[in-house]
Chains A and B, each alone.
Chain A
């Protein structure tokens, strides 16, 4: 009897590990040989890319800290990144607008209180002029944030990301932007078999506590489609949809789901579905790949992209090789190689 109890206990105790292993391996369901071949080819491509990225990361391990690229003022390397930013922004705008969705932007710092940094000094004017040049409507949060007490609207002193009050402030201003376009409408619809299984990069049904190593625990809950929201998006859609794309400034680390910008906006617009696919450390290149692979299939009517001065430097090749969601290798240009060798070798 005791032995049986022990065996049963042992079996029970393995349940968490079995679950942990199952969670890490998504089930393969492609029965069709053609689909399987395509999936195999994609896997092979991913594996090749991973190897190339690993090689590049070994050869160029360092990511310049914010402002490093600008220590000696503007330079050819930074100018190249600016051009890359401009090209990618134009590409994203074109892709979003081709779906019929309204493309809007917000200039919002990932971490408030960085107004005196070199990135802001050189990056912000360029970003604003680029946005203006492309005729994109953009809400600049710089003066709004400057009028606030940083200790109240951020997690200062532990971190510069939004507090509940900060997220509410941002949401209230974004709300004015959304209200201006009640007639915005996506003209594209996708068939069910065209849509991917997930629309965001979080693990489906993710339900965990994170703290970013800053002793600021927060609860992240994703729907079954990998988006940080409390319900799944259904099709055909019954409400207008607003998609927020960006980095941590819109993801709102250190806040539970119900205090994030997207959630606060959702409360203000019950006739809309408002959601975010923002993720910490992302930039234009990530927004483009995510749009192509996943978010365009949600058929948003309004797309609001958050940007900040750091997005330019985030396009440096070592940053991309470490942080890009696409996983493809980024080889250095001549200017990037020169900068890297001068500073890190």
Chain B
């Protein structure tokens, strides 16, 4: 059951009505969420909710245990024990194949691969549970005493499968407080859900065939067509993943929760460092807080090198987190190399760019960042490291100057509306934040009355929503309903 299905629409409508009919009873609302989330998760496989339930119970008990333990040594042991237990399932189910394959590849030992069923979203909710335990251990939050409340937080279906990874410090308290549904909240939710659906159905599903074609035929295609393929893949990945994140945020808000944005116009990033502040923000924050910072602190005697080492380790791990294949490690390392370069050359680059007009430095920054991110992303989609290398070799050869496959423009044109809208809204709180669009000022030129300004803004926003609905309706039945790419992780 995915967000862009009729089945989910019915499911959500029922949950919404039951949930808000119990608005005076927070615990009952949480119980509805738990039951609904487990039901939602069981659609993928009947065994997934069992695994999730065990993880929730283990996290809950470890949290309480750590909180109640005063002896620092015991707390530390408990922390490591809980991290081992919570991550064991993830490592065993997701990475045992990679480990066995790598060991047998290096040693020549013949081992048969394990074909294990990996629960969808395991990487995401395992990270949520680890983040919670570390926060409890560090005393940043109190362990949740109510199992239902905790289960509702960890299993909440809008972000259960592919995030955004909810930060316990900001999201868990919302499951304890009385929930509120405001008109402004509904408006934002509708905007986010429609925009998320648009990204998925109109953009991602539309261009996915072009992407699949280019990668499936990479051995026959020239550099120009492959460049088109990887550019399309970048947009596809963004539209697919950020579309889901937008919907998750909108759906969560309809249930009274505010979760952080996961993307913020990554196309406008002027460096890879900035890119990671705009792309998969919840994961970046998680790694920053629980991996990067501890490494930097642990290696503080190494001086500037501690930062480089922390970047290398963090992004190597982040790559492998994405998938049980060394190609993801290569992808992560490529990003870390760029960030280390940026770290060591920050002063020189700033001096160099300060002599240029702002638009030129901006253009150069965006061009190289986007180009590097796109080429690195090749390893994300290629079947292997060697295939990724071969694609990049072809792109960076004379084949780049040949005529690309004839359907290029047909697929590329779907990226235009995505780019335009996201660039306009990059600093807004959500995509149809009309203040950011400058529409209030526009309305102010038409009329002086505040009431009329609101009315004009409302009309324009409604028109935008109607256009979005029309596009979604137009393509909903026509397109191949491709699975969300991040379901693999």
Contact = CB atoms under 8 A, between A and B. Distances in A.
Nearest to B445: A3
A20 interface: yes
Interface string A205-221: 00111110101111101
Given A3-B441, A16-B413, A17-B474, A9 B209 contact: no
Interface in A4-51: 6, 9-10, 12-17, 19-20
B209 A256 contact: no
Contact of A217 (B216, B410, B437, B438): B216
A210 B209 contact: yes
Nearest to B412: A16
A14 B468 CA distance: 11
Contacts of A210: 209
B414 interface: yes
A285 B410 CA distance: 34
A15 B467 CA distance: 13
Given A3-B438, A9-B424, A217 B209 contact: yes
Contacts, number: 61
For chain B, which range describes its interface: under 10, 10 to 19, 20 to 34, or 35 or more residues? Answer: 20 to 34
A19 B474 CA distance: 13
A6 B437 contact: yes
A198 B217 CA distance: 30
A211 B209 contact: yes
A211 B480 contact: yes
A245 to B, nearest CB: 26
Contacts of B421: 9, 13
A20 B474 contact: yes
B212 interface: yes
Interface in A216-242: 216-219, 221
Nearest to B210: A209
A210 B406 CA distance: 14
Contact of B420 (A13, A213, A216): A13
For chain A, which range describes its interface: under 10, 10 to 19, 20 to 34, or 35 or more residues? Answer: 20 to 34
Interface string B202-224: 00000001101100110000000
A208 B424 contact: no
A2 interface: yes
B407 A219 contact: yes
Contacts of A14: 417, 467
Nearest to A208: B407
A221 B406 contact: yes
Contacts of A3: 438, 441-442
Contacts of A218: 213
Nearest to A11: B420
Contacts of A213: 480
B217 A211 contact: no
B213 A217 contact: yes
Interface string B403-422: 00111001001101100110
Contacts of A209: 209-210, 212-213, 407
B405 A13 contact: no
Interface in B439-471: 441-442, 467, 470-471
B212 A9 contact: no
Interface string A244-263: 00000000000010000000
Interface of B: 209-210, 212-213, 216-217, 405-407, 410, 413-414, 416-417, 420-421, 424, 437-438, 441-442, 467, 470-471, 474, 480
Given A6-B424, A10-B420, A211-B209, 11 more contacts: A6-B437, A9-B424, A12-B417, A13-B420, A16-B414, A16-B416, A216-B216, A217-B216, A217-B217, A219-B213, A219-B405
> What 3 A-B pairs are tightest by C-beta distance, nearest first?
A13-B417, A217-B213, A209-B209
7 contacts: A6-B438, A10-B420, A16-B416, A17-B471, A217-B213, A219-B405, A256-B217
